[in-house]
Structures are given as C-alpha cells and as structure tokens.
Structure 1
Amino acid sequence: MSAADPHRSQPRQTGSQHGARSRRTRFGSRVRAWGRHHGAMARDSAHRLIRRPLGSLVTMLAIGIALVLPSALWLILDSARLLETELDESASLTVYLEATVGEREAMTVANTLREHPEVAGVRLVTAAEGMAEFQQALGLDDALARLEENPLPASVVVSPLETSPEAVRDLAAQLEGVAGIDEVRLDLAWLERLSRLAELGQRLTLALGVLFGFGVLLIVGNTIRLSVESRRQEIEVITLIGATHAFVRRPFLYSGAWYGLGGGLLAWLLLGLGGQWLSVPVQALAQSYGAHFAVPRLGLQGSTVLLFSSTLLGWLGGWIAVNRHLKEIRPR
C-alpha cells in the first residue's frame, strides 16, 4: 500500500501542472490575438488612407503647416540660446585700481582676483597699456603724448564664472571690497535685455505650440468624425454582435496616428527645404556683420520629438472624435 501511494498522488500533481500550463497558453493566445488584431487594424487603416490619396495628403499637409511655425520658432529659440551662451562667455567686469597702485601691486591684486571662486579668468591692463589702447582708439597720439602724467589707472578685466545678471551683480559687490580696487564697472543692460528676450521667446513658442496643437486636434478630429459617419452602419452591425468600444475605436485611432505621422513628416520636409532655401542669404547677412551664423537644423533628437508629438496629437484627436461619436451611435 505504501508503495502505491506515490503513484496515486502523481496524477493530481500532473493535473495541477497541466491546468497552470493551460492557463498560460490561453493567456499567451489572447496576447497574440490582441497583437495580431492591432497589426491588422494598423495595416487596414493605412490601406484606407492610401485608397484616398488626395484627401489624406490634404489632411496631412494641413497638419504639417500647423506644426511648421512652432517648430521653426523652437529652432530659432534654440539658436538664440546658443548665441546667448557665446555672448555670456564674453561678459566681463572692468575693475579699476586706485591711482596709487603700482605695477607690482596691480599684479598682486590680479592674482587675488584670479583666486576668487566665482572668477573664471582675469587680464591685467597696466596704466601704460591702457593709455596705448586709448590713443589707438581715439587717434590722438600727438595730443595725449604731451601729457606730463598718465591719468589712466591700471585695470583688470574679470571674466565671471556665472554670467547671469544676478550673479555678475553679486560678484561686483564682492570685488569692490578688495584692497586696491577703486571701482568695479559692469554693463548688465544687454544681459538683462537678452534674458528678457529669451524668456519672451520661450513663452511665445509655448503659446503657439499649444495653439497649433489644438489646431491639429481639430483637423484630425474632424477627419475622423467624417470617417466614423461614413462607417456608421458597419459600426452598428459589429456593435450589435457584441463588439466593444475598444474594438470599434482601434482602427480610427490608428488612422489618427497615421495622419499625425504623415503631417509630422511633411512638417519635417518643409522645415528642411525652408532652411536650405534661407541658408545662403542668412550666411551672407551674418558675414556682412563679421559673424558666423548657420540656419538651425532639427537633428536626430528634434526630428524624433517632432514626429512623436505629431503622431501623439493625431492619435489623441482620433480618440476624442471617436469617443464622442460612439456615444451617439446605437444599434437599431
């Protein structure tokens, strides 16, 4: 009897394992069926758009035009941010030393400023060098040469580590307390104007992005609404035989995503063509001012963000339109 007990318990263990395996198989089958249906709906919605090439292209073009302006402003703002970084690097403080400070003492003061934790670099301008630069700038060599004494003090040009207006102002207040320094002069007007322009550009780009994003939702929503109305009878039939709203909604969501992706690709193409068209005159204008400026490009990251955003907006527009009209459709 004891030898037979293990054989009696074996079928129960095998049945339990078989039930667990069966449940895993059913779950895997449902997941594969769900994936196959998603793939079929994505292909079917793409085929429906291809069968109506003109209407689909017009809708995508409207989406692309709506996305071009905020994308172009974002590129301009990004270029302005790079320009602001370059200008910030040229920001400096002019520290004028006392008239009684000699050349050796001036070097000591410069070394003291160089060791300051908020100073990126210093350049000492002696009184003689300052007079030479002043003469060269004004072209008054003969008149200034008649002066018995050099009235200009030595100065130190300080490059701050942090170039925000608040940080520069705080650094200037700290340097005024260093022995041997008579005056610290700084011009923060252009830094503050640049900061305010950058803030204005950010808000303008955000506002236009939101506004044109709503425009994309309206374009896709109206297109999907017409598609739902044209397939009303089909929706009523499949709803009558037990189809869920998620099942009915799925092809329209893919249609909205395809519209958004196509609009994003057209916007990307328009931005590329526009940048290529403007690159030559923009570079010529920059060179006339002695500067180097290239028309900004989206790049891989910007292109990914643009295409993902346009696809998401198309999907969201389709979801809003379908949900609204599914409530109005009842099987008869």
Structure 2
Amino acid sequence: MSRRPAAPPRGARTQRTRSSSQLRAWLRHHRAMSADSARRLLRHPIASLLTMLAIAIALVLPAALWLALDSARLLDAELDASATLTAYLESAVDAGEAGRIDEAIAAQPGVAATRLITAAEGMAEFQQALGLDDALARLEDNPLPASIVITPDEPSPEAVRSLAGELEAMAGIDEVRLDLAWLERLRQLAELGQRVALALAVLFGLGVLLVVGNTIRLAVESRRQEIEVVMLIGATHAFVRRPFLYSGAWYGLGGGLLAWGLLALGNQWLAAPVRALAASYGANFSMPHLGLIGSATLLICSILLGWLGAWIAVSRHLSEVRPR
C-alpha cells in the first residue's frame, strides 16, 4: 500500500503565501507609483519639458565632444594606415643594386610593401610637382638619389622608429626619413580631448543632479503634508521615496531622448558641409553616429543621473520631515 507524500507544515505554507502576497503588493505599488509619477509630470507639461530640456543640454555637450573624439580616432587610424618611410640610397648605387636593396628591404620583418623610385623617376616627379621643367632640364647631372618608399606592417611610432633604425644599418642606404611629429601631436591632442570630455561629462553630470534635485525638492515641499500623514500611519522612507525616484527616472529618460534627438539633428545639419570639406581634400569622411550601443549608453546614463538626483534630494528632505 503506497503512502501519500507528507504535506508541508502549515506554517511553511502560510509563510510562502505571505511572501508571495508581499511580492505582488510590492510590484503593484511600483507600477502604481511609476504611472502616478508619469501622470504628475504630464499635468505640468511646460515645466516638465523645460526640466528635461535642461538635462538634454547638459548631456549633449559631452556626448558631442565624445563623437568628435571618436571621429578623430577614426582619422588617426586612417593616418596610421598611410604611415610610410622613405629610404634614400647612396649616390653610387646603380639601378641593379637598387633593385636588390629593394628586394632585401621587402624581405625584412615588419615591412608590408615597398616601392622603388629611381633617380630619373624622382626627378620627373619633382619637375611635375614644382612646374620647373625648363630650369631643371638644364642641369647636367641628376642630383636626386634613388629612393625606396616603405609601408610598415605596424604603423605605431615605436615600431616605425625601430624599423627605421634597422634599415639605416643596411649597406647602400644613406638615410631613412620619417615624419611622425605631426602624428604624435595629433595623438596628444586626442588624449587631451579625452580628458576634457571626461571632465565635462563629470561637470555636466553634476549639473543634471542639481537640476533634478532642485525639481524633486520642490515636489517634496509641495507634498509635505501628504508625506507627514503617510509617515504618521507608519510608511517607511522607502515607501515615501519611491514615487519621487520614478519622477527622477522619467525626467532622466525624457532628457536623454531629447539629447538623442538634438544630436541626430546636429549630425544631419553638419553632415553635408563636412562631406564637402573632406571631398575638397580628396578624403571620404562622414559624421559619426551614436549607434545602438551609444544611444543605449546615453539613455541609461541619463536615467541613472535622474534617479540619483532624485534619491539625494528626497533622502535629504525626508530627514527633515517629522510627522506632527
């Protein structure tokens, strides 16, 4: 004869039922407070929109600088890819020996490609660049040496300098030239821009906290009597704080969406002249976009800043509220 499984104790069933009821009540209260705080913002659309616009302006400036730095990093990568060295051969090197030196350099580790420019080809390019065909044609001897243009595998300044030192030690090479000063200056400016963007993000983030905190402080003061009543009947600080936290999150979400819209409009406004300017220099460049990850980061940061500003303001004022 089989036995029925023992039923759980009555106290355990009661505890589980109580915990489930408390969780459902907690979720219902969160939904109610979220909807109520949204309705309160919609009752005063102008004031709410101005607060969200102030948050959006505070978010747009560091985000726009971040996009500018991102485009600078893309440009830096393109410049790195175009980094080359020029090895000038000794004047006594003939065409056959120059070809052998070119093959030896191409076989070196760290060299992606080479291009041999003979003395005659170098003079032709020089004449074409300066437009001095008649004057240079009167020269009895060609003073320009043969040269080899080298494209390195690794375009970083350290790797290029190391490769230049190895090439200068090869027989038949008189000098190896590389101009990395402008590239290093560009990278230093990019690093400076990153620090400036970080400083602006912190400062404007504090500005968002102040804007939301001041708005929530006024909301707390306008509902002071209501807060005193619910605290008098036993409401906890978390219960009282919850609707204001949702208000701060709604402010942050609205400010983030407005900031995203302003960035998109600014991108469209500047896209055509930037493309035209890049085309005049023979480059193909377009304005960078936030993308999915950037947009999500912007919205999450704005919501968190709104929530944190509300939490600071409500916590500070709840400590001063005493039920009478």
TM-score by length of 1: 0.89
Q: Name the CA shift for 1:222/1:152 in 2 (closer, same or farther; >3 Å).
A: same
Report the alpha carbon displacement of residue 226 of structure 1 after superposing the two structures with TM: 0.7
Match of 1:109 among 101, 107, 124: 101
Verify: 1:307 aligned to 2:309, yes or no. Answer: no
What secondary structure sits across from 1:94 in the alignment? strand
Verify: 1:203 aligned to 2:216, yes or no. Answer: no
Cα displacement string for residues 76-114 of structure 1 (whole angstroms, at most 9, x for unaligned residues)? 111111111112212111111222333333233223322
Match of 2:145 among 150, 153, 158: 153
Q: Name the CA shift for 1:114/1:40 in 2 (closer, same or farther; >3 Å).
A: farther
Partner residue, 1:91: 83
Q: Find the aligned partners of 1:98 and 1:126 in 2 and give their Cα distance.
A: 12
Report the alpha carbon displacement of residue 19 of structure 1 after superposing the two structures with TM: 5.5
Report the alpha carbon displacement of residue 322 of structure 1 after superposing the two structures with TM: 0.8
Report the alpha carbon displacement of residue 22 of structure 1 after superposing the two structures with TM: 4.9
Q: RMSD of the alignment, in Å?
A: 2.2
Report the alpha carbon displacement of residue 318 of structure 1 after superposing the two structures with TM: 0.5
Q: Find the aligned partners of 1:25 and 1:172 in 2 and give their Cα distance.
A: 77
Q: Name the CA shift for 1:147/1:299 in 2 (closer, same or farther; >3 Å).
A: same
Q: Trace 1:267-306 onto structure 2 (pairs within 5 A).
A: 267-306=259-298
Cα displacement string for residues 260-306 of structure 1 (whole angstroms, at most 9, x for unaligned residues)? 11011111111222222233333333334443333332222221111
Partner residue, 2:242: 250
Report the alpha carbon displacement of residue 30 of structure 1 after superposing the two structures with TM: 2.8
Partner residue, 1:48: 40
Q: For structure 2, which runs of at least 5 residues remain unmatched after alignment?
A: none
What secondary structure sits across from 2:7 in the alignment? helix
Q: Name the CA shift for 1:53/1:280 in 2 (closer, same or farther; >3 Å).
A: same
Match of 1:237 among 229, 251, 254: 229
Bigger drift between 190-199 and 93-102 goes to 93-102
Match of 1:221 among 213, 226, 235: 213
Letter paired with 1:185: R
Aligned length: 324
Partner residue, 1:168: 160
Q: For structure 1, which runs of at least 5 residues remain unmatched after alignment?
A: none
What secondary structure sits across from 2:8 in the alignment? helix
Partner residue, 1:140: 132
Letter paired with 1:298: L
TM-score by length of 2: 0.92
Q: Find the aligned partners of 1:275 and 1:40 in 2 and give their Cα distance.
A: 38
Letter paired with 1:15: P
Letter paired with 1:160: P
Q: Find the aligned partners of 2:225 and 2:116 in 1 and give their Cα distance.
A: 85
Q: Name the CA shift for 1:240/1:112 in 2 (closer, same or farther; >3 Å).
A: farther
Letter paired with 2:235: A
Q: Find the aligned partners of 2:227 and 2:95 in 1 and give their Cα distance.
A: 90
Q: Name the CA shift for 1:31/1:111 in 2 (closer, same or farther; >3 Å).
A: farther
Partner residue, 1:15: 8
What secondary structure sits across from 2:174 in the alignment? strand
Report the alpha carbon displacement of residue 23 of structure 1 after superposing the two structures with TM: 4.1
**Once the two structures are aligned, what percentage of the paired residues are identical?**
71
Q: Find the aligned partners of 2:178 and 2:280 in 1 and give their Cα distance.
A: 29
Q: Find the aligned partners of 2:28 and 2:86 in 1 and give their Cα distance.
A: 70
What secondary structure sits across from 2:320 in the alignment? coil
Cα displacement string for residues 117-165 of structure 1 (whole angstroms, at most 9, x for unaligned residues)? 3223222212222122122223333443444443322211112233333
Q: Name the CA shift for 1:171/1:19 in 2 (closer, same or farther; >3 Å).
A: farther
